[in-house]
Amino acid sequence: MNVSNQDEVGKWVSKLIAEDRLEEFYNSKYWRRLRKEVLEEYKHECQDCKAKGYYTEANHVHHIQYVRKHPRLALSKTYIFQGKEYINLVPLCHDCHEARHGYRQKEKKEPLTEERW
């Protein structure tokens, strides 16, 4: 497979998604190599934590353009939108990665009400 060809990557990843085998993408040599490269470029620093002023080691690489919605961009560090280039792969720590995906929701508390006897 020619991983520099977005159409080929898109077909391959779309097929994996359709067959419910997306984990094969994340275990592929192509993704592992790119993931390592991105982590090294950013010195293994979580970019969300860094933006808040502290250091946390990044152990995930997050797709801004989600793989399931944009399979052609699965192996792209950047993407073009309305003529401007944007970063597509961002190193994050576990907590920030979960937060980006909405897995960590703030706990909803019951409103305080008058106690009735």
- The reply to whether the predicted model has a pTM over 0.85 is no
For the cut 80, the answer to whether the pLDDT of residue 99 exceeds it is yes
Return mean pLDDT, the chain: 90
> Is there a domain that residue 57 lies in?
yes
Domain that residue 94 falls in: 6-101
Q: How far apart are CA 70 and CA 72, in angstroms?
A: 5
Q: b/e string for 27-65 if b means 16 or more Cβ within 10 A?
A: ebeebeebeeebbeebeebbbbbbeeeeebebebbbbeb
pLDDT bin (cut points 50, 70, 90) of residue 103 is: confident
> Is there a domain that residue 115 lies in?
no
**Domain count for the chain:** 1
Distance of CA 33 to the CA centre of its chain: 15
pLDDT, tens digit, 9 for 90 and up, residues 36-64? 999 999 999 999 999 999 999 999 999 99
